[in-house]
Each structure stands twice: as structure tokens, then as C-alpha cells.
């Protein structure tokens, strides 16, 4: 579906006007793109085993429907999702309002009904952290979507990890982005290093460069005389602020690493943009695996019901479709020529939005003190 003349430019102008008038830092999670080295092609990736015919059929149907709708139609879909989002006045966010110093962004809300309530250690009078549970139907996975730790929430973050026995932490932002601090160095970056956060002690046992963009640290977390907790910290080191990666299978490889975990902590800076994109793709995959028809509108609405504001931008929304198209092509559910028009439209969207190339920064420079 070709773009109507001036459509994306008008949408872009409206979005820029909104950014200029609100100046809210929470919108710093969403509209650039990272370019990868095209000279190195990954050999055929098997993302998940046991694909059923029903799954492949539904993936194909979703891709063809996306192609018929076109990128312009998906941009309009996302605008309708935003319009249907309840205004702040209708959200029950008592704890959020009472703990303004612990919120990274004043317009990224943590609602009471799904928030993680801190109970550890017993007798502690502070039960608040900017984090929400996200349940996925018919899945053993429960995600904790949270903001990047601040200086005054480092202890709270590790209290949460210990309390919920979260054995996997996914970090989708960098310590510094575009000259701004987006996250505290909340874990010991160097092998053998130990840090203490209130009643919690964290030791770095091992760092592995699992992929060019993914650093995995094996952490030992302990408290008092209780048995230690083994935690895998997965740091995606080059997902750009305001951006989406161009590698459309990377999110699925990350999700495949999480398949054996239950309580999974995921964060970017605000905990809704990049975080919502990854968790939303897992929700989509669960629908496919159940042989169900996928509605991305319903996925994002359900995600936002549990973690308000998830999937911040239309580019992220369209990117989720592009990822599924990439995976479907990988699984031979669709052919590239069937989706070529959609891919061209997506590239055009990125170009019109002025998406810049992310610098190829070595992973060792991405943390406050170096990781490897």
C-alpha cells in the first residue's frame, strides 16, 4: 500500500510538535535505527523448535494482513491505540504519586493493580518500586517490566530481584545515551567484583560476549545466610535510544535465551519503549504457538493495561510487525517477494523520520567501568 502524499510528513510534524511542547524525557526510547554490518550474514537461524502447521499458517496470515494494511495503515492503527489509552486521571496510581523521587520520569506511570509490592526484608517500611507484573496468557513466563535503576532505587531493585527469585535480568539500554545518563551501574561489571546493595550482595562470576550486541554476566546474589541465587544478566549493548535494531531476528534469539526462566526482569530507561517491544513480541509468539490469530492491536492494549505506556512509538509498533515478517521468512512461512512492498515502506518510514545510524561502539565502552 503506497503512502499518500504528505501523510508521514504530517504525522512526523505532529509528533515533533508534541515532543517540543511536552519535553518529556519518557519519550526518549523510540525512533532511531541501528544499522548492522551487512557483510556478515548469519547462517539460517532456528528460533524455536516444534513449529506446528497451525503456527506457520497463522504467521503467514498475519504477514499477509500486515502487507495489505501497509505501514501507513499500521501507523494509523497505533494512533488509534494511543487515543484509546486511558488518561492519567483515570489511572489508579497512588503509590506512584506518593513516591515521586523514585520515579525516573513523571509521565511514565506505575499503576497500583499490577505493581510489584516489595516485602523483603521483613519489617521494611518501603514497599514501592516502579515496576509492573506482565502476565502472558498460557505461558509460564511472568515479566517484571521496570524502569532503569536510579541512585536512590538501587537497593529496591535488588530487593525485588531477591524477593521474586528472578533468575534473569534483561537490560535494553546503556548507562549513557546521547550524552545523558539513562541508568545507574547497578551490577558489578568486572569479573570477581562484589557490590553490596542494602541487605543484598552481588558478585560477578563470569562475563560472556554471547553475541556482538549481547553481553551475558553470571551473577551470584545473596542475602544473609540464605542460599545464593544465580542470576543471568543480559545486556543488549547497542539498541539505540529512540530506536529499533535492524536485525529482525535478534529479539527472538534473546527471547529464546529466556525460555527456561519464569520471573524475568526487563528494563530499558523508562521501562516501556524497548521493554514493551520485546515483551510484546513474546506475547505475539505465544499466540502463534497456540495456533491463534494474532491481533497486534490487542497485544499492545493488553500490554498497556498491565504496564501503562508500553510500546511508545509507531515506529516500534511497525517494527514489531517487521520482526514477525523477518521470522516468518526465516521459517519459510512467507517469501520475501510477498513482503517486499512492506519492507520498502518500512525503510521509507525510517528515512522520512530522519532515523540516524547508530555508532558501532565496542561493548566494553558501554558500561560505567567496562564489562569484559
Bridge partners (DSSP) of residue 220 are 203, 230
CA atoms of 322 and 326, how far apart (whole Å): 6
CA atoms of 313 and 75, how far apart (whole Å): 9
Phi and psi dihedrals of 263, rounded to 5? -85, 105
> What DSSP assignment string belongs to 343-365?
HHHHHHHHHHTTPPBPP---GGG
**Residue 268 is among the residues annotated as catalytic for this protein:** yes
Q: Which position among 251, 268, 323, 355 bears the catalytic label?
A: 268
Q: Which helix (H) or strand (E) holds 21?
A: helix 7-22
Per the CB < 8 A criterion, the answer to whether 296 and 320 are in contact is yes
304 sits in the region (left: phi over 0; alpha: psi -120 to 50; else beta) called alpha
CA atoms of 251 and 242, how far apart (whole Å): 17
Q: Which of 176, 169, 175 lies closest to 204, judged by CA?
A: 169
Per the CB < 8 A criterion, the answer to whether 131 and 271 are in contact is yes
Bridge partners (DSSP) of residue 133 are 144
Q: Which of 188, 194, 202, 186 lies closest to 129, judged by CA?
A: 186
CA atoms of 293 and 304, how far apart (whole Å): 20
Q: In a 10 Å sphere around its CB, with 0-12 CB exposed, 13-18 middle and 19+ buried, how is residue 348 labelled? A: middle
DSSP annotation of 89 reads G
Residues with a catalytic annotation lie at: 268
Amino acid at each position: 500500500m503506497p503512502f499518500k502524499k504528505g501523510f508521514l510528513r504530517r504525522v512526523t510534524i505532529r509528533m515533533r510538535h508534541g515532543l517540543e511542547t511536552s519535553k518529556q524525557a519518557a519519550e526518549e526510547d523510540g525512533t532511531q535505527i541501528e544499522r548492522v554490518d551487512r557483510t556478515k550474514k548469519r547462517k539460517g537461524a532456528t528460533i524455536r523448535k516444534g513449529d506446528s502447521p497451525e503456527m506457520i499458517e497463522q504467521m503467514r496470515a498475519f504477514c499477509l494482513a500486515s502487507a495489505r494494511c501497509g505501514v501507513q495503515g499500521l501507523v494509523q492503527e497505533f494512533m488509534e491505540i494511543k487515543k484509546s489509552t486511558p488518561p492519567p486521571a483515570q489511572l489508579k496510581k497512588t503509590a506512584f504519586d506518593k513516591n515521586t523521587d523514585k520515579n525516573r520520569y513523571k509521565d511514565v506511570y506505575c499503576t497500583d493493580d499490577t505493581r510489584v509490592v516489595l516485602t523483603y526484608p521483613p519489617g521494611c517500611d518501603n514497599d514501592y518500586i516502579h515496576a509492573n507484573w506482565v502476565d502472558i496468557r498460557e505461558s509460564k513466563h511472568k515479566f517484571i517490566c521496570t524502569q532503569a535503576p536510579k541512585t536512590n532505587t538501587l537497593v529496591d531493585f535488588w530487593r525485588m530481584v531477591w524477593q521474586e527469585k528472578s533468575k534473569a535480568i534483561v537490560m535494553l539500554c546503556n548507562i549513557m545515551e546521547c550524552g545523558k545518563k539513562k541508568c545507574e551501574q547497578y551490577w558489578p561489571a568486572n569479573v570477581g567484583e562484589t557490590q553490596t546493595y542494602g541487605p543484598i550482595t552481588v558478585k560477578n562470576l563470569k562475563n560472556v560476549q554471547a553475541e556482538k550486541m549481547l553481553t551475558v554476566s553470571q551473577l551470584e546474589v545473596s542475602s544473609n545466610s540464605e542460599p545464593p541465587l544465580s542470576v543471568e544478566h543480559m545486556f543488549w549493548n547497542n539498541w539505540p535510544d529512540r530506536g529499533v535494531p535492524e536485525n529482525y531476528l535478534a529479539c527472538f534469539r534473546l527471547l529464546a535465551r529466556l525460555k527456561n526462566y519464569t520471573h524475568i526482569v526487563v528494563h530499558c530507561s523508562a521501562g516501556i519503549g524497548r521493554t514493551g517491544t520485546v515483551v510484546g513480541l513474546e506475547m505475539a509468539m505465544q499466540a502463534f504457538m497456540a495456533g491463534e490469530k494474532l491481533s497486534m492491536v490487542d497485544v499492545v492494549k493488553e500490554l498497556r493495561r498491565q504496564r501503562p505506556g508500553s510500546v511508545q512509538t509507531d515506529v516500534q509498533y511497525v517494527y514489531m510487525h517487521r520482526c514477525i515478517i523477518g521470522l516468518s521468512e526465516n521459517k519459510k512461512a512467507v517469501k520475501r517477494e510477498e513482503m517486499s512492498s512492506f519492507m520498502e515502506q518500512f525503510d521509507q518510514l525510517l528515512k522520512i523520520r530522519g532515523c540516524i545510524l547508530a555508532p558501532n561502539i565496542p561493548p566494553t565502552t558501554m558500561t560505567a567501568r567496562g564489562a569484559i
